Amino acid sequence: MSNVIQLQDNGKNLSARLKAVLDGDFADSRDAARAFISRPDMAVVPPDTPKEEYREKTLGWIRDMVAAGFTTLPYDPAFGGGGERQKYMNIVEIIAHHDMSLAVKQGVQFGLFGMSIESLGTERHHAKYLPDVMSGKLLGGFAMTEMAGGSDVQGISTEAIYDHATRSFVLSTPNEGARKAYIGNAAKHGEMMVVFAQLKMSPESESMGVHAFMVPVRDKAGNTLPGVTIDDCGHKVGLNGIDNGYLSFDKVRVPHDGMLDRFAQIDQDGHYQSEIKKKSQRFFKMIGTLVTGRIFVSMVSLSGAKNALTAAVTHAEERKVFGETLLDKQATQARLLPHLADAYAMHFMTRHLMDEYQKGNEYLETMAAAIKAKSSDAAMRTADEARKLGGGAGYMSEQRHGALRNDIDIFRTFEGDNTVLRLLVAKNQLSRLSKKFMQVNAFQKVTKIAALQLKRLFAKFNAESGKTERDHFLDPSFQNKIFAARERTMMYMLSDKIQKIAKAENAAVAANKTQVDMIAYADAYAERLMLQKFTKAVAAQKDPEVKAILKDVCDLYAVHTMRENGLWYVENGLMKPQTTTALRRLERELTEKIRPHAQMLVDAFGIPPGVLACAPIPPAPPPASPPAPPKQP
């Protein structure tokens, strides 16, 4: 009995040490956020709460975040902020465990709205708006998406026509398809919106491209302003604590200083000025400043996955099935533990994204796009698996599995549709590859070099492709090399395919006929990044027990991902069929090895029990005592 107690204590101690690794330099801030969401007044909203009540509850929580001092953290100290964006994002990641509507609404207010003012505006905008944004006195939104536009933001139709006589812009919605759609904070609470529109210097002139404008939509009493039409999006599949709405404008005048003019200005003589000459380059420069939104979605998606995993593992540890726990079953281990390994890999990857943001990495947009798509898809699969594992109880609204899954679902769409983001990743990487070759025949040179590199690559891996030894697959060097080999091979093959189709037909046809390859490449790119950062995190550990368990989890991520991509490796000569068979055996071995530590691994996420997606299983009643025999007369 004493040995069992000692093992349990060691498990708790290891969980605490692992939590310290995951929390990193932001442990105090993350613990403050855990305490914040554990307060009695932060009780989870019941599933049958009307959306109107839920919206007001969420707004009250926003006020509570302001009172707690959280909301000044991400802004520049020059504007009264704390200058600690990473600290704030860590806090929001924890808050997302409690309520996704709150996490997203604060993202609209203090991220999209506030950060677009900071990133796209100049000093006069910062001084005028940011103090009230941080304090919640000025509630706003981010009006970019249009009904007919979807992901084609460069092609939006809302117009802002400059009128030099009044030094103002006339903002109009030219048709029904140009209505701003699904805008957070629009239906009820927002007073001002950052509105994206095509800037024209006269009604007949060509557009200067997409620009952002500060547009009041309500007065302080909540009345819609003249020329503005607001419609409520109504009840949604999830995130009903957010008041999403439709916006349209009928000749709404915006003063000259209402344009956020960091990248383009209109001078005193009414002339358009910008150091960035091409409007497409201006557009991407403007959008690039908002990349933190995609990092935010990755982190909040990860919060959803961690919540679902903690609930599912806890349930599987408690649930008895024919004399064993559900987690003792091989099928359950196969269903849950690869998702757990993926969550750990994503955790270290999102930390890397935040670090690279601070450094100003020029490739951050590409990395953030790839990881946003990967993390939101993975979170959805994890939440769905957790719901199914809960059986009939998991389908009950009180368990929150369905609510969590529904809330996560939209993350695959906003901040960039995942399919479009994956195409963007491949396009950016192709451009990066071809920048080395400035001549017209760039792709031909790329293809020739690629062929030489591939020959060396295949020669190396063919010598090892039949190996099935355990240590071979668990070698971090081999793992990283074969992930990188897959990514590089896919890129070279993609560039070659595009060049051949473009030569036979044209560039537009080539771009369309390689989209499936581009999407697959983007995931290979994300997987390589995730493994690279995970193995680096393992190597950095000084605590031998923490290092050992993280190594096992990292190995499971690597082996599971290799096995899932096994057909590609075989088809392209980097593995033999017996290799994938060995990978399958090794994956089972790793899940069995990790199984005793599963509860400790999810406990290390530090999620307060009251916000988990699944309530504890009530203990079974004691067996009834047999009735006493009747007394003999």
The more confidently predicted of residues 470 and 301 is 301
**What pLDDT is stored for residue 245 in this prediction?**
98
The CA R_g of the chain, rounded to the nearest whole Å, is 27
Q: Does 599 score more than 60 pLDDT?
A: yes
Sequence-ordered list of residues with C-beta below 8 angstroms from that of 245, at least 6 positions apart, any chain: 183, 186, 187, 188, 190, 230, 231, 232, 233
**What pLDDT is stored for residue 439 in this prediction?**
43
Greatest Cα-to-Cα distance within the chain, rounded to the nearest angstrom: 116
Q: Does 513 score more than 60 pLDDT?
A: yes
Q: Does 54 score more than 80 pLDDT?
A: yes
Of 142-151, 178-187, 466-475, the least confident: 466-475
**What pLDDT is stored for residue 340 in this prediction?**
98
Question: Taking the model in full, what pTM does it have?
Answer: 0.91
Chain centroid offset of residue 93 CA:
11
Rounded CA separation 172/195 (Å): 11
The answer to whether 565 and 487 are in contact (CB under 8 A) is no
**What pLDDT is stored for residue 461 in this prediction?**
57
Predicted confidence (pLDDT) per residue in 372-424, tens digit: 999 999 999 999 999 999 999 889 988 889 999 999 999 999 888 999 999 99
Q: Say what percent of the chain tops pLDDT 90.
A: 77
The answer to whether 423 and 512 are in contact (CB under 8 A) is no
**What pLDDT is stored for residue 8 in this prediction?**
47
**What pLDDT is stored for residue 472 in this prediction?**
85
Angle of the 27-37 helix axis to the 85-98 helix axis, nearest 10: 30
Average pLDDT of the residues in 25-37: 97
Of 259-268, 332-341, 390-399, the least confident: 390-399
Q: How many Cα atoms occupy the beta-carbon half-sphere of 389 within 13 Å?
A: 32
Average pLDDT of the residues in 209-228: 97
Which residues are part of the catalytic machinery?
Answer: 415
Question: What counts of helices (H) and strands (E) characterise the chain?
Answer: 23, 13
Average pLDDT of the residues in 213-242: 97
pLDDT-derived band at 6, boundaries 50, 70, 90 = very low
Average pLDDT of the residues in 285-301: 87
pLDDT-derived band at 471, boundaries 50, 70, 90 = confident
Rounded CA separation 440/445 (Å): 10
Please spell the DSSP secondary structure of 93-119, one letter per residue.
HHHHHH-HHHHHHHIIIIIIIHHHHHH
The answer to whether 504 and 513 are in contact (CB under 8 A) is no
Rounded CA separation 74/87 (Å): 8
For 292, 625, 626, 629, the CA distances from 632, given in Å and listed in that order, are: 82, 20, 18, 9
Residue 152: strand, helix, or coil: coil
**What pLDDT is stored for residue 631 in this prediction?**
62
pLDDT-derived band at 196, boundaries 50, 70, 90 = very high
**What pLDDT is stored for residue 578 in this prediction?**
86
Neighbours of 545 (CB within 10 A): 13
pLDDT-derived band at 52, boundaries 50, 70, 90 = very high
Q: Say what percent of the chain tops pLDDT 70.
A: 90
**What pLDDT is stored for residue 577 in this prediction?**
86
Average pLDDT of the residues in 426-451: 66
Please spell the DSSP secondary structure of 114-149, one letter per residue.
HHHHHHH--HHHHHHHHHHHHHTSS-EEEE--BTTT
Q: What angle do CA 611, 615, 621 make, to 5 degrees?
A: 155
* 247: β partners: 180, 230
The alpha helices in 540-616, defined as continuous H runs, are 544-564, 566-571, 577-594, 598-603
Phi, psi of 211 (to 5 degrees): -135, 165
Neighbours of 60 (CB within 10 A): 12
The more confidently predicted of residues 243 and 489 is 243
Q: Does 187 score more than 90 pLDDT?
A: yes
Sequence-ordered list of residues with C-beta below 8 angstroms from that of 136, at least 6 positions apart, any chain: 62, 63, 66, 71, 109
For β-strands 140-143 and 192-200, DSSP reports them as parallel
Long-range contacts formed by 319-323: CB under 8 A, 24+ apart: 319/617, 320/620
Chain centroid offset of residue 25 CA:
21
**What pLDDT is stored for residue 139 in this prediction?**
98
**What pLDDT is stored for residue 26 in this prediction?**
97
* 183: β partners: 245
Q: Does 354 score more than 80 pLDDT?
A: yes
The answer to whether 495 and 442 are in contact (CB under 8 A) is no
Nearest to 208 by CA among 281, 287, 149, 262: 281
Rounded CA separation 43/98 (Å): 9
Average pLDDT of the residues in 50-77: 97
Lookup: tokens for 104: 């997203």
Rounded CA separation 465/478 (Å): 11
The more confidently predicted of residues 581 and 616 is 581
Rounded CA separation 418/512 (Å): 17
Q: Does 632 score more than 90 pLDDT?
A: no
pLDDT-derived band at 281, boundaries 50, 70, 90 = confident
Residue 324: strand, helix, or coil: strand
pLDDT-derived band at 4, boundaries 50, 70, 90 = very low
Please spell the DSSP secondary structure of 229-279, one letter per residue.
EEEE----SS-TTS--EEEEESSEEEEGGGB--SS-EE-TTS-EE-S--SH
* 246: β partners: 231
Nearest to 233 by CA among 220, 221, 247: 247
Residue 163: strand, helix, or coil: strand
Q: What angle do CA 302, 526, 593 make, to 5 degrees?
A: 65
Nearest to 415 by CA among 529, 301, 261, 258: 301
Nearest to 334 by CA among 564, 578, 552, 592: 592
Class of residue 232 by CB neighbours under 10 A (exposed 0-12, middle 13-18, buried 19+): middle
Lookup: tokens for 185: 């904070």
**Mean pLDDT score of the chain:** 90
